[in-house]
Amino acid sequence: MDGAGQLFKINTTSGAGTVVGTVTGNVDLSAMAFDATGNLYIVDSFGPNLLEVNKTNAAIISSKPMGAINQEIGGLAFDANNGTLYHSAGTTSKFYTVSTITGTAAFRGSTP
């Protein structure tokens, strides 16, 4: 993906990218991750909101507010063992767990 909303599919053999679609709206996309069943989640820094996005056409399935978090740029990852969604964000490296049901980010600590 790029910050303006385009979602790309990458050919793992050639490295070539193909545009799947554009996540619509006034968005600033900064992190993405797939859960164990293949659902795609993306952080929109402008909300900040947790978006669930259709990976075949980039349509927003749901948008949930993440709460008052320090969001500038970040990373998103699922724990394959228990399905927990983690988010690290901001220039001060805040670390959160995020509910995929509500979107709420819970502060867990700072990272070095």
| CATH number for the domain harbouring residue 20 | 2.40.10.500
Domain presence at residue 1: no
What pLDDT, on the 0 to 100 scale, is given for residue 64? 96
Domain presence at residue 33: yes
Q: Mean per-residue pLDDT for 88-92?
A: 77
d(CA 49, CA 90): 15
Q: Is the dihedral of CA 50, 65, 24, 95 positive or negative?
A: negative
In 6-104, the DSSP E strands lie at 6-10, 17-22, 29-34, 40-44, 49-53, 60-65, 74-78, 85-89, 94-98
* pLDDT, tens only, 5-44: 889 999 999 999 999 999 998 888 888 999 999 999 999 8
Structural domain total, the chain = 1
Domain presence at residue 73: yes
Write out the residue range of the structural domain in which residue 29 sits.
6-110
What pLDDT, on the 0 to 100 scale, is given for residue 111? 77
